[in-house]
Amino acid sequence: MSFIKVYIHFVWSTKNRVPFLETREIRQMMWNYIRKNATEKGIHIDFINGYSDHCHCLISLGADQTIQKVMQLIKGESSFWMNKQKLILDRFEWQDEYFAVSVSESVLDRVRNYIKNQEQHHSKKTFDEEYNEFIIKYGFQKFVDE
């Protein structure tokens, strides 16, 4: 038997950062669906929350799970579900790109708290500002389409 604990903090946005998840009610429905669907797929979501145009998700990866596959399942199935529910007038889509960073067990509570307080956090800071902070903090390269 293998013993594995690998936590990943995922962040992804709606297509073109359109505020599809504008109301607290719609967001809660989306997070509940993502959690339920993930559980059915054997994906352990430790914490999930977000704001009108993005989602933060703390996931404990299983031995046979890859970052790419987890994101594909979560984003694909939740988009399909949202469109089927007809909760918004437009066609719902997630952006293709996402952030995925490993999280040490020593800071799990801090990351959970950060995810939990997204609404408060984004009353002071836009997702664009948060996005740019992630780029800098984690040393990602930002590619510009030419």
Which pLDDT tens digit goes with each residue over 55-99? 999 999 999 999 999 999 999 999 999 999 998 999 999 999 999
Q: Which CATH architecture has domain 6-137?
A: 2-Layer Sandwich (3.30)
Instruction: Name the pLDDT band for 119 (thresholds 50, 70, 90).
Output: confident
Taking CA atoms, 45 is separated from 65, 121, 141, in Å, by: 13, 21, 27
User: To 10 degrees, the CA torsion angle through 15, 114, 64, 39?
Assistant: -80
Q: How many whole angstroms separate alpha carbon 9 and alpha carbon 45?
A: 10
Q: How many whole angstroms separate alpha carbon 3 and alpha carbon 62?
A: 10
Q: How many whole angstroms separate alpha carbon 20 and alpha carbon 92?
A: 7
- Residue 33's pLDDT is 98
Q: How many whole angstroms separate alpha carbon 48 and alpha carbon 34?
A: 9
DSSP 54-73: EEEEEEEE-TT--HHHHHHH
Q: How many whole angstroms separate alpha carbon 2 and alpha carbon 4?
A: 6
Which pLDDT tens digit goes with each residue over 32-66? 999 999 999 999 999 999 999 999 999 999 999 99
User: Do residues 11 and 51 lie in contact, with contact meaning Cβ atoms separated by under 8 Å?
Assistant: no
Q: How many whole angstroms separate alpha carbon 86 and alpha carbon 89?
A: 7
Nearest partner of 50 among 7, 80, 6, 94, judged by Cα: 94
Instruction: Name the pLDDT band for 143 (thresholds 50, 70, 90).
Output: low
